[in-house]
A = this chain, B = another copy of it.
Amino acid sequence: MSRIVQKYGGTSVGDVERIKKVADRIRLTINEGHQVVAVVSARAGVTNELIARAREITLQPSEREMDMLLSVGEQETIALTALALHELGVPAVSFTGAQAGIQTDTIHTKAKIQAINADAVEAQLRAGRAVIIAGFQGVNEHGHITTFGRGGSDLSAIAIASALKADRCEIYTDVDGVYTADPRVVTAAQKLEEISYDEMLELASSGSKVMQSRSVEFAHKHKVVFEVRSSFNFNRGTIVKEEVPQMEKVVVRGVAVDRDQAKVIVSNIMDKPGSAAKVFQAMADATIVVDMIVQNVGRNGIANLTFTVPLGDTLKAQKALEPVLDELGGGHVAVHENIAKLSVVGVGMKTHSGVAADLFRALADADVNIDMITTSEIKISVVVDQDKADDAARAVHTAFGLDAR
């Protein structure tokens, strides 16, 4: 008998009819002879409704109380899912995060899981019941409810799979798996059968939003193999697992485009030690995450600093830079929002040379200008004109032999 942890997201349990379908899917898995633990999210929309109600009261809500408030969304779903299972004749019991023994630190709204005491869940599984657990939530040492922030239910599922030493962890969502590129843009994109944690992480941080990076990192750290698949059909999904030598044969696993970045250019500053440090300290103080950085120094000792920030942070960045420029004795700030970051990702890059050259040639052939470049061990990212991003993605996808045959 295998032990399987399944996670169903907000659209998968969006209404009573969908919840019934999820229950039927759990039933089918149990009928195949497996033990099932299902982690469920709040019904799609419920969390936003609750947030809207809180906003009517205050614009600066206590994070502890927001956790108390938002955790009800998942609690409703677990009860309804358990009822739907009973109606199908399947013994089942629901647990809140606290009841499931998910212990976290005390940081409300973005708590980290510290330990899972799975005794209660184990006992229910041994008694032959499916266990339905509220995702996104846990309890801290003071007995207060905590939540994990966006994508938190994935984290719950992976942590529970780890604690229960589950044989499989299935993340059900509204897409069929992880693709070589966004199929809405690149029609020749293919679903990947498997992908390494590192590749998945780089894709996630490059704009491919199947899962939050945090959950993938947690899975990697605890060596939890999981499958991303759709709750709307029975197709196999994509297995996310530790890198194996076999994987290096593929140079580029996927192409991602991130349109949520803006470019900040700080020009005409004196090229002296500490200038760049002052600029990025200002960004850090303003809690702005800087992604790509390029520095050019001209002959006259005047430097230009170009970097990317999240699109929503451009105003904040400009404001934070003003005092820095004063301090540096001049300079100019410009923001370009009409950009996109295109990334190619693959563990094969570690052992293959010439990937950058192939990428640049493909872009040149497609008449796409390259603005900034960064590379990591398994990723190359370039900034391009946002209007050219789709063409660029298709050209690169073809060039690296990723198109479906």
Residues of A within 8 A of B (CB): 16, 19-20, 50, 53-54, 56-58, 61-62, 64-66, 68-69, 71-72, 75-76, 78-80, 82-84, 86-87, 93-94, 96, 99, 120, 143-145
Q: How far is the CB of A330 from chain B (nearest CB, A)?
A: 45
Whether the pair A78, B82 counts as a contact (CB closer than 8 A) is no
Residue in A50, A64, A68 whose Cβ sees the most chain B Cβ within 10 Å: A68
Whether the pair A57, B80 counts as a contact (CB closer than 8 A) is yes
Q: Which residues of B lie under 8 Å from residue A50 when comparing CB positions?
A: 76
Whether the pair B80, A75 counts as a contact (CB closer than 8 A) is no
Q: How far is the CB of A102 from chain B (nearest CB, A)?
A: 13
Contact of A62 among B19, B57, B83 (CB under 8 A): B83
Q: How far is the CA of A84 from the CA of B60 in the complex (A)?
A: 11
Residue in A50, A79, A93 whose Cβ sees the most chain B Cβ within 10 Å: A79
Known contacts A71-B75, A75-B71, A143-B120; is A65 also within 8 Å of B83 by CB? yes
Q: How far is the CB of A259 from chain B (nearest CB, A)?
A: 35
Q: Which residues of B lie under 8 Å from residue A144 when comparing CB positions?
A: 99
- In the complex formed, the residue of B with least CB distance to A143 is B99
Whether the pair B79, A66 counts as a contact (CB closer than 8 A) is yes
Whether the pair A69, B58 counts as a contact (CB closer than 8 A) is no
Whether the pair A62, B80 counts as a contact (CB closer than 8 A) is no
Q: How far is the CB of A348 from chain B (nearest CB, A)?
A: 48
Q: Which residues of B lie under 8 Å from residue A86 when comparing CB positions?
A: 58, 61-62, 65
Q: How far is the CB of A337 from chain B (nearest CB, A)?
A: 35
Q: How far is the CA of A136 from the CA of B116 in the complex (A)?
A: 29
Known contacts A58-B87, A86-B58, A87-B58; is A65 also within 8 Å of B53 by CB? no
Number of identical monomers bound together in the oligomeric complex: 2
Residue in A66, A71, A76 whose Cβ sees the most chain B Cβ within 10 Å: A76
Give 11 A-B contacts (CB < 8 Å), ordered by A residue.
Answer: A16-B53, A53-B80, A54-B79, A54-B80, A57-B80, A68-B78, A68-B94, A68-B96, A69-B76, A71-B75, A75-B75
Question: What are the 8 closest A-B residue pairs judged by CB atoms, nearest first?
Answer: A69-B79, A72-B72, A68-B79, A58-B87, A16-B56, A65-B82, A65-B79, A57-B83
Q: How far is the CB of A377 from chain B (nearest CB, A)?
A: 45
- In the complex formed, the residue of B with least CB distance to A67 is B79
Q: Which residues of B lie under 8 Å from residue A64 when comparing CB positions?
A: 93
Known contacts A65-B86, A69-B76; is A57 also within 8 Å of B19 by CB? yes
Given A62-B86, A65-B94, A75-B75, output 6 extra A-B contacts at Cβ < 8 Å. A19-B57, A57-B80, A61-B86, A65-B83, A68-B82, A69-B80
- In the complex formed, the residue of B with least CB distance to A58 is B87
Q: How far is the CB of A140 from chain B (nearest CB, A)?
A: 12
Q: Which residues of B lie under 8 Å from residue A69 when comparing CB positions?
A: 75-76, 79-80, 83
Q: How far is the CB of A46 from chain B (nearest CB, A)?
A: 10
Whether the pair B84, A58 counts as a contact (CB closer than 8 A) is yes
Whether the pair A87, B57 counts as a contact (CB closer than 8 A) is yes
Q: How far is the CA of A20 from the CA of B56 in the complex (A)?
A: 10
Q: How far is the CA of A65 from the CA of B11 in the complex (A)?
A: 22
Q: Which residues of B lie under 8 Å from residue A56 when comparing CB positions?
A: 16
Whether the pair B68, A84 counts as a contact (CB closer than 8 A) is no
Q: How far is the CA of A66 from the CA of B83 in the complex (A)?
A: 8
Q: Which residues of B lie under 8 Å from residue A54 when comparing CB positions?
A: 79-80, 83
Q: Which residues of B lie under 8 Å from residue A80 when comparing CB positions?
A: 53-54, 57, 69
Q: How far is the CA of A20 from the CA of B93 in the complex (A)?
A: 36
Whether the pair B57, A84 counts as a contact (CB closer than 8 A) is yes
